C-alpha cells in the first residue's frame, strides 16, 4: 500500500467565467511565488487529472496558502471547499454537463506571521464513484474568509491531491 501524490501547477489552473480569483506573482526576497489570491466566497479554480492507480478510500487535498497583507492579521480563517466530478471513459455521460458531487469543506486558521505559510488538509469523502483510470475534474474554492476585515486575501500557491493505491 502506497500513497499516490498528484501535485498541480497552480499557474495551469482553469477558471470559469465568474468568481475568478486573481492570479498573482509575489516577489519575495529570494524568489517569486505564483498563486491565486482569493478575496471572497465562491471564487474557484479547477484542475483535471486521471486517477491512475486509485485503490480505495478518501482523497485528500493539501492546500498551501498564506494571508496576503502588509501586516499579518491577528485573527481570522478561511474555509476551503473541494468537490469532484468523475467520469469513466466510455460512460454515457456528457462531459460538458456532468455535475460535482457534494462539496467537502475545511476551515484553516491563518498564520500570525506576515505572509506566513499554512497547509490545510481537506479530506474529500464525496467521491462521485471514483475508480482507477477515471478522469477527475477538481474544484477548489473559498467558501468563507473571516480575514476580510483585515484586508487579507488567501493566496493559494500549492495544491496536491493524495490517495491510496490499494
- Please give the Cα distance from 75 to 52 (Å, whole number): 40
Averaged pLDDT for residues 57-78: 84
Question: Does position 149 have pLDDT exceeding 60, yes or no?
Answer: no
- pTM value is 0.93
Question: What pLDDT, on a 0 to 100 scale, did the predictor assign at position 92?
Answer: 85
Q: CA torsion 55→100→109→61, rounded to 10°?
A: 20
Q: Percentage of residues in the chain with pLDDT exceeding 90? A: 72
Domains, in order of start, for the chain:
3-164 (2.60.120.260)
Averaged pLDDT for residues 62-80: 82
How is residue 76 written as a grid cell?
Answer: 481570522
Amino acid at each position: 500500500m502506497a500513497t499516490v501524490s498528484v501535485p498541480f501547477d497552480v499557474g495551469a489552473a482553469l477558471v470559469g467565467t465568474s468568481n475568478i480569483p486573481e492570479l498573482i506573482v509575489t516577489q519575495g526576497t529570494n524568489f517569486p511565488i505564483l498563486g491565486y489570491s482569493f478575496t471572497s466566497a465562491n471564487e474557484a479554480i479547477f484542475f483535471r487529472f486521471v486517477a491512475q492507480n486509485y485503490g480505495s478510500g478518501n482523497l485528500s487535498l493539501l492546500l498551501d496558502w498564506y494571508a496576503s497583507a502588509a501586516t499579518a492579521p491577528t485573527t481570522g480563517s478561511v474555509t476551503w471547499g473541494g468537490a469532484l466530478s468523475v467520469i469513466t471513459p466510455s460512460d454515457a455521460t456528457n462531459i460538458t454537463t456532468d455535475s460535482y458531487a457534494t462539496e467537502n469543506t475545511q476551515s484553516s486558521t491563518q498564520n500570525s506571521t506576515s505572509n506566513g505559510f499554512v497547509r490545510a488538509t481537506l479530506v474529500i469523502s464525496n467521491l462521485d464513484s471514483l475508480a482507477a483510470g477515471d478522469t477527475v475534474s477538481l474544484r477548489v474554492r473559498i467558501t468563507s474568509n473571516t480575514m476580510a476585515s483585515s484586508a487579507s486575501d488567501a493566496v493559494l500557491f500549492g495544491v496536491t491531491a493524495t490517495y491510496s493505491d490499494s
